[in-house]
Every structure is written in C-alpha cells, then in structure tokens.
Structure 1
C-alpha cells in the first residue's frame, strides 16, 4: 500500500474533526454517529477509522481541537474580552456551529471519564492563565478588581459560557449577545 502524504493525512484528519464538530452542533454528542460524520466529511468509513479508533476517540479529539491553547497573553482588558468573545477563530466553522458544539462537548464532560479529565485540566489551566493575565493587568494599573483575580477569572468563564447557552436557548443570534457579554465582563472590574 502506498504511503500517504503527511500533509494530505493532516488535512483529512482536520476535515473529519470539523465534520464531527458540525454534527455535534446539530445532534449533540450522543445523537451523532460515525456514519453522520463520514457523510458530513464526504469520506468513507474506512477513512475515519484510519485516523480515529472509534467515536469516543474522535469526540476526544474534537474536544482537544475546541480547547486549543490561546495566543500570547492579552496586553489590555479590551484585548482579553475580545479573546473571550472570539467565536470565529476556527476556519471552516461559523460562530453558531462553534458555540453549539462547545456547549454539547462541555455537557458531555460532566460524567467521569476521559472527556471529563480533559475538560477539568483545560478549565483549571484556563483559570490559572486568566488569573495570571488579570493580575498582570492589575499590577500595570490597567484595571482594578471587585473580587480577587481567581474569582474574577472563574466569573469570566461562567459568564461567557452562561450567556452563550442563553443565546442558543433563546434562538437569539450570537452577535446580538456579544455586547451584553462584554458589558457583563466590564462589571467585574473598574478602570482606574
């Protein structure tokens, strides 16, 4: 059997992950089948199994893809807020698909298991990163806090995810919620 070009294989793998994310956004994790994913990707079942052992493996990789690490630390409060509200950061997926998949994937992480462990590690890391960024903004005199930096970081995560859920649950376009999310984040700080 001829060897496949690594670039082609990586491209095909990402295509499968993007297809899985789109399916999860529509049907949830439990409602999505491998057949749904290979049809969405326009590939054969065999192509999926070259890259992923089973659905759990693929869902795990979707979660890792969705939780990919951010760029360099933000220099300002407005930059930090923009990063928290940047739902179009994934090429090939619109903001609504990314948000629906995000909510479904996070809900699937509630039960103990590999997905839960991945999410716990991500959330703990996100809180640590946000706390450090917030502390730096305070030290530089850019913002002042209404509560400690760790509590502020946790409140940021809870506020953003909660408002995203509200947007989806009430069928309001995400872009209508972005100013409200931003205004809510501003309530967590004061500007000296």
Structure 2
C-alpha cells in the first residue's frame, strides 16, 4: 500500500474535518456517528481512524479549523496599514458568520458543559479569539488612533472583551435562526 505524503495527509485530514463539520451542522454532535462522517467524506472507516482516534478528535479538529480561519482574517486586519475600528471589526466578523459553523460552535459549547476535553477546547478557542481581537484592536489604537503601544494594549482589553461577547452572541443568533437542514439545490 503506498504511503501518503505529508501534504496528502493534510488534504485527507481537511476532507474528513469538512465532512464532520457538515454532519455536525446537519445532525448535531451527539447524533453524528463515524459512519455518517465516513459516508459524507466518501472515505473508508479505516481512513477516518488512520487520521483521527475518535469523534472527540474530530470535534477538536473542526473547532481548531474554524479558529484558524478567523485567526488568519484577524491577523490580516491587524497587519494592515489601517486596521478596522472596533465597530467595523465586529461588522466584518458578523458578516463572515457561516450558519453551519455557528451551529457546530453552539453545539460544541453545549458539550463543553459536560465533557472536560471539549470544555478545554472551547476555553482555549475563546481565549485565543479574544487574544486575536485584542491584537487587532491594539493595532487600530496604535496605527489609527496614535496611542502609545503600552496604553493601547491596556485600552484594548475591555474593547476586545465586548467585541468577543457581541460576536459570540451573533454566532448563537445565527445558529438559532438558520435551519438545520442543508439548503436544497
């Protein structure tokens, strides 16, 4: 049997993770089985288990993928010559909310109340998101509002906290207002 290259392994992992997110969004975390993910991905069960030990690993991978996408966007905002002000930053984040990702996120939060491994993922993701928002707001305060870096970091803390809270509220709203079925073609 030919060995997979590292690049091919990453593509396969992404394929599995994307299939898991679609299943979680459609069926819920609890009602999604590895068989569902196998069918959705078009891969064998053995292939799934070659890349992930269990469904909890897939939940973790899905959560980290969503965070990586947001991190890339926030990093671009912070690195820009004119980072967006907090109101614009929040508006951009809200505009980029994907209904399936929102449903999976809310389900993951629910699982975090009873599953310590999932709770660790959610706490880590929330802390990272807030840190990324803090970096972006700090960059705006320094580059646009012309604050000294130390003062900007201090002032950014409550602003990033409010943006994070509002963003999480919008994720919840998006999850609740969107249907759980896949849109018909």
Q: Which residue of 103, 114, 132 corresponds with 1:100?
A: 103
Structure 2: runs of 5 or more not aligned: 148-154, 180-185
TM-score, length-scaled by structure 2: 0.74
Distance 1:23 1:129 in 2: 28
Between the aligned partners of 2:20 and 2:174, the Cα distance in structure 1 is 22
Q: Which runs of 5+ in 1 are unaligned?
A: 89-94, 173-192
Q: Does 1:156 align with 2:163?
A: yes
* Residue of structure 2 in register with 1:43 after alignment: 43
Paired residues in the alignment total 164
Show the counterpart of 1:64.
64
Query: What TM-score do the two structures reach when normalised by structure 1?
Result: 0.71
Q: Which runs of 4+ in 1 moved over 4 A?
A: none
How is 1:1-192 mapped onto 2 (pairs within 5 angstroms)?
A: 1-68=1-68, 69-70=71-72, 71-72=75-76, 73=78, 75-77=82-84, 80-81=89-90, 83-85=92-94, 87=96, 95-111=98-114, 113-142=116-145, 148-171=155-178
- Superposition CA RMSD, Å: 2.8
Asked if the contact 1:76–1:142 (Cα under 8 Å) also holds between the matched residues in 2, the reply is: no
Greater helix share, structure number: 2
